[in-house]
Amino acid sequence: MGIFEWSATFYGLLVASAPIFIQATILTLKLTAAALGIGILIGLVFAMMKISTNRLFSCIADAYITVIRGTPLIVQIFWIYYGLAPVLDVPAFWAASLGLAIHNGAYIAEIFRGGIQSISRGQMEAARSLGMSYLLAMRRIILPQAFKRSIPPLGNQFIIGLKDSSLAAFVTMPELFMTAMRRAAHQPGYALEYYTIAGAYYLALVVIFSFLVRKLERRLDVDK
């Protein structure tokens, strides 16, 4: 098949399969949003533990970050889906979201830690000298600045998280990649076309996400 015939076939399948792939895209976005929302909370908690003067908290954070960053994401998703989910009766969507969240949380924790530690210690000392508690100073003075400085690496992590959501296909989530796999199984002669369609949808999402992150960076003026 020549390139022109393949392109015509690809376009025809792209148009014909649009409804099912749009549904899968919505699920992919929901999965990513849930995973990253939970991941931010996990990351913030472990970032605070990591910089804590309490040795126990610091060691727990170190262990979590080391284990999660040192093992494959697919193993973590399988462990939650086949290990915890049946015991706790967790739906497949939330099992996949939790696996992605725990994985992203380890990287987000390091991003937040770097952002917090980039703020001058003098600001914390000044806040404490005004009578603020440590937690109040963190909430009002340190964390807003740290979050602002963390926007660029967080944006990169969000894009990685979006692409990593494709691994939820292996726990039966009908997101973009699983949809392409099922279509390719039903029409094996068009497997390349369907996987290319899935790749095109991911690329479109990444381009949109990258644009929004850059726009947010400019609005927050993160370089200043």
DSSP 61-121: HHHHHHHHHHS-HHHHHHIIIIIIHHHHT--HHHHHHHHHHHHHHHHHHHHHHHHHHTS-H
pLDDT in tens, 187-202: 999 999 999 999 999 9
Q: Residue 163 pLDDT > 80, yes or no?
A: yes
Q: Residue 222 pLDDT > 60, yes or no?
A: no
Domains and CATH numbers, the chain: 3-220 (1.10.3720.10)
pLDDT recorded at residue 1:
60
**Residue 99 to residue 173: CA distance in whole angstroms:** 13
pLDDT recorded at residue 220:
75
What CA–CA distances, in Å, run from 205 to 35, 142, 202, 209?
16, 32, 5, 6
pLDDT in tens, 112-132: 999 999 888 888 888 888 888
Q: Residue 224 pLDDT > 60, yes or no?
A: no
- pTM for this entry: 0.88
**Residue 53 to residue 55: CA distance in whole angstroms:** 6
**Residue 221 to residue 145: CA distance in whole angstroms:** 11
Give the DSSP letter of residue 126: H
